Amino acid sequence: MQINKISINNNQLSFKANYFRVDKLGRHCQFMTISTDNEENLGKEPVLQYERRGKLQDFPMVYDGKYYTTEVIVRPDKYRIFYKDTGKYERNGEYQIINPLYYTKIATQQYRKQNNLPLENSIAKGEVEGKVFVNTLDIPQDIPAILILDEINKAEDLVLKIPKNVKGVITSQTDIGILDHTANLVRNHYNVLSVVLDDDKFDDLKKQEGKNLYINNEHGLIKYKEIDDINTIETNPIQAVVPPKLENVERLLTYDELTPQNCGNKGYRISLIKKLIEEGKLKDISLPQGFVIPEGYINKLIEYIDVHDKKESKDRLNNGIYTQVVNKKVEELGMDKRNLIVRSNFNDEDLGSFSSAGIYESILNWDDEVLATTLDILSHAKESELPKYIHNKYGIENSQIQPSVIVQDRIKSNYDFTVYSDDNDNNTIIQLADSSTGFYKPNKALIKYNKNTKEMTIVNKESPKAKYIIDESGKIISEENEDDTITKNLEILTPFLEIVTSGAAVLEKFFNHPQDIEGGITKDGKVFFWQTRDIVAKGKKKI
């Protein structure tokens, strides 16, 4: 690395010699460590200082032959580097202001280039007309609007915080995958949602502030033109959703007992998967063992633990009769009580014209506390802003919500997948994640199966891990990459993916509607489906 020599006058330093490491795990970028090359030799014991919770934190920096680097992950908004052995500070002790998202964006740009991915990612494809606003939520509500944001920190903010008359959003930084639950949610919320990593194009879009634009991203890339007038806001009210009224059931239900009347659509669809497997129509597909804890059982539990003594209440929850019944059911079904997943199963989920995907919780249960986990899911649904917003938008009253949960074996899969049985262009789309590479499931690929030609191709892929060291000016000065394992193993994976696409076709035909399916492939070659839902109307737009 070429370094310009530094001159020091009156202890004023004018150099750029700090570096930031960004680790890429699949599509996720994590701002990790801060380094200095200490070219001006201020000392040999540098520490990184920044304030945390009102206290000054010191993090030792270790020399690796090239840089002094923090040993731990740090995520400060500002920092300074102090040399303990000499008492000197870099840059006169002034705090350096940094924006981690700036560096993660640079890493993402480089990463997508290396993997031959476009610098645009269209989450919701369509067309929109509106007046352009940039980096503001102060938007008049009487006109159609298009919002351009430098970054979106939380995907749920796309639904919760942006004015309702905004029909198109363009950003240069967010973290949403094509088939994520959040992606399905925003596809039903916006006509257009694109992530533009091409700096020149994004800057040009921002220059359209205040203009009336027509935007079309149906083919993946944004095309736009200025227009004289924009259509008025649609005044048609959103059709209210009426969740089905369920029977009161005060006992646990097995898959074979599930009906739309006693457990709702989500659980009932799982029972239909089981039936199709048993009838030989879903070939080579397995289903995780499980059962449903219905609303009536949960209400009796809440009544049982509602005592004044907190210790007794906790003991009733963890060891009482209702927990004993659940543990007995787990044992009867041969399930692993320390490796379960508890999924929401509310009566407004997976309806034909309405999807609640992404607004409720599914929680891993490691510690044999299924009922405590169940109550956590109910608490989240009651307190979280996203369910409240969606319910209000679709006219769903709190009194109409009937919560229950599905308890399933957590399958230890090597590969997890989400499948859209049809992308509205006669393709089946598979988002495949290689779980064997670690907890973060970093190695992902988007695979397209053409129903006509029977051809299966990798549309885009993501290498398992990448590491970038970036200087303060945004220049990448060092990088490391790993080859992606899905491309490497595609020949081995193809027979299993053919089972997935065949199964998706069966479910699509059975339900007479394109399906959103979740599942996995285990180390011993079993293909699991653990749930399926209709892709709702707007979600059927091209992906």
CATH class, 253-409 region: alpha beta
CA distance 79 to 92: 12
Q: What is the pLDDT at residue 244?
A: 92
> CA dist 280 to 20, 96, 266, 283, 410, Å?
55, 64, 22, 6, 24
CB contact at 8 A, 417 and 531 = no
List all residues 6 or more positions away from 117 whose beta carbon is below 8 Å from its beta carbon: 111, 460
**Which pLDDT does position 448 carry in this prediction?**
94
pLDDT band at 537 (very low <50, low <70, confident <90, very high): low
Pairing of strands 28-36, 120-124: unpaired
93: left (phi over 0), alpha (psi -120 to 50) or beta: left
For residue 231, pLDDT over 80 is answered with no
For CA atoms 434, 436, 439, 440, the dihedral sign is: negative
Q: pTM for this structure? A: 0.78
Where residue 487 falls among pLDDT bands split at 50, 70, 90? confident
Distance between CA atoms of 254 and 396, rounded to whole angstroms?
28
CATH superfamily of 113-226: Phosphohistidine domain (3.50.30.10)
| Tokens (6 digits) for 386 | 């996203």
In this predicted structure, the answer to whether residue 288 has a pLDDT above a threshold of 60 is: yes
Residues 6+ apart with CB under 8 A from 194: 120, 121, 122, 123, 124, 169, 170, 171, 217, 222
pLDDT at residue 258 tops 50:
yes
Which tens digit of pLDDT belongs to each residue from 432-482?
988 776 655 557 888 999 999 999 998 877 777 788 889 888 899 888 888
Structural domain 413-466+484-540, CATH architecture: 2-Layer Sandwich (3.30)
The predicted pLDDT at position 148 comes to 95
Q: What is the pLDDT of residues 42-88, one digit of tens each?
A: 999 999 998 776 778 888 999 988 889 987 777 677 899 999 999 99
Q: What is the pLDDT of residue 28?
A: 64
**Worst-scoring range by mean pLDDT, 210-219, 397-406, 528-537?**
528-537
Report pLDDT digits (tens) over 360-395: 989 988 777 899 999 999 999 998 888 888 888 888
Q: Count Cβ atoms within 10 A of the Cβ of residue 376 and give its class: 0-12 exposed, 13-18 middle, 19 or more buried.
A: middle
Mean pLDDT of the 533-541 span: 66
Helix (H) or strand (E) holding 518: strand 515-522
Is 60 exceeded by the pLDDT of residue 540?
no
Domain ranges of the chain: 8-98, 113-226, 253-409, 413-466+484-540
- Distance of alpha carbon 527 from alpha carbon 299, whole angstroms: 36
Structure confidence at residue 179 as a pLDDT band (50, 70, 90):
low
Through-space distance between the first and last CA atoms of the chain, rounded to whole angstroms: 43
Rounded Cα distance between 443 and 481, Å, is 12
pLDDT at 394: 85
